[in-house]
Amino acid sequence: MTYHALCPRFLRATAGAFIAGVLMLAAGQPAMAESQHIDAAPAIDSAPSSFWDALDATPQNAWSQLRKSFAWDINALPPDARARVDKWIARYRQSPQNIASITREAKPWLAWIIQQVNARDLPGEIALLPFIESSFDPAARSHRGAAGLWQFMPRTGDALGLLRNGRYDGRLDVTASTQAALGYIESQAERWYGGDIALSLAAYNAGAGTVNKARRRAQRQGRGSDYWSLDLPGETMQYLPKLYAIAEIIGHPERYSVRLPDIGAAPAFAEIALDRPITLTRLSRRLDISSQRLAKLNPGALQNTLSPRDGSVLLVPREANRRTLTALAGADDSPAQATHRVESGDSLTAIAMRYDVSTRDLMRWNAIEQPRTLQPGQLLTLTDG
């Protein structure tokens, strides 16, 4: 396999013209359906350390890095806006264990997301948006169809270039969806709101059409057209107050009796760009890393396989990066040297999808005339010759 390691600040650049077209396409709808509310988050139990607690951490602190990048001043808010924020601070204070639980879920992702937010010179508070959207669960799904850390609806994800097929969902891919979300928020602010991030975040929640309509109505009534002056849908009215509130608590955890988990300033994972399909199960055995661990870092891989056809990038635990490079250099995981032992319930279509080959080629390489003739235990060749 040919590969190269990507730096932690790996960016998927998006052309301005493309973003503009995307924004026009998605203007009438929200990026996400509904937030995964913090009050629904599970409380912390006394169970042994979770998988994420095993991630290597450096002595530096991601929380201090995040606080340095905060740009909003809660004390500068108008009294009525401050009252809306204070309501959510009070509500969050009632369940400090939920805040601790969600921030623990952020452990593998937060440091990397902070880097991406800072690279775009966006307010650091935006790094906490997944707290509201998904409780930092990259596999979160809403009943309306939104999915991932940033809760993209299918149509919006498609418009932003987040590929979806039977083996991969870019909305669940943390690095791909994060770049899409930040680009979407940034471009909306620049294109329609004169750089106003608050209005762009409202549009991210409710749709630009809804926000623009509310602004026009406010202007006709002689009111301000900033976020805090608008009459918006109920969830959108609470969207920024929630984000302000959680940022205030993260900024002053001692004041609010919240204990935050230790999170290193360096990203908890490394990124490997692939040029051949790779199976997570085989890679986990080669690296002596649990398949569960790789799967949690690569939630976009729906069939346990990543392929460059999907634009997917392999994420591995940061401390395993050197071992990954050494192992990948010594073995090719492509179909050119692979076989598959048929198991009960296997079908040619599923096998072909798993190894990123065509069903027709699979039949030709194995002299199969009828797909239904597969037998458990049969050894299939995944290459021509």
Question: What pLDDT, on a 0 to 100 scale, did the predictor assign at position 279?
Answer: 87
pLDDT digits (tens, 9 = 90+) for 163-218: 999 889 999 999 999 999 999 999 999 999 999 999 999 999 999 999 999 999 99
Pick the CATH number of 334-385 from 1.10.3720.10, 3.30.565.10, 3.10.350.10, 3.40.630.10: 3.10.350.10
Which single residue is written with the structure tokens 């940033």? Answer: 150
Q: Which pLDDT score, from 0 to 100, does residue 21 have?
A: 47
Question: CATH number of the domain at 10-251, please?
Answer: 1.10.530.10
Q: Where are the domains of the chain?
A: 10-251, 334-385
Backbone φ and ψ for 103, nearest 5 degrees, come out as: -65, -25
Q: For position 324, what pLDDT does the model report?
A: 58
Kindly give the parts of the chain with pLDDT less than 50. 1-25, 34-52, 54-59, 329-337
Measured between its terminal Cα atoms, the distance across the chain in Å is: 19
Query: What is the DSSP annotation of 172-237?
Result: T-HHHHHHHHHHHHHHHHHHHSTT-HHHHHHHHHH-HHHHHHHHHHHHHTT---SGGG----HHHH
* 4: enclosing H helix or E strand: strand 3-6
Q: Which residues have C-beta within 8 Å of that of residue 221, sequence separation ≥ 6?
A: none
Active site residues: 133
Burial of 375 (0-12, 13-18, 19+ CB in 10 A): exposed
Rounded CA separation 111/92 (Å): 23
**Which residues are registered as beta bridge partners of 55?**
none
C-alpha dihedral (96, 269, 125, 128), degrees to nearest 10 = -40
State the pLDDT at residue 321: 54
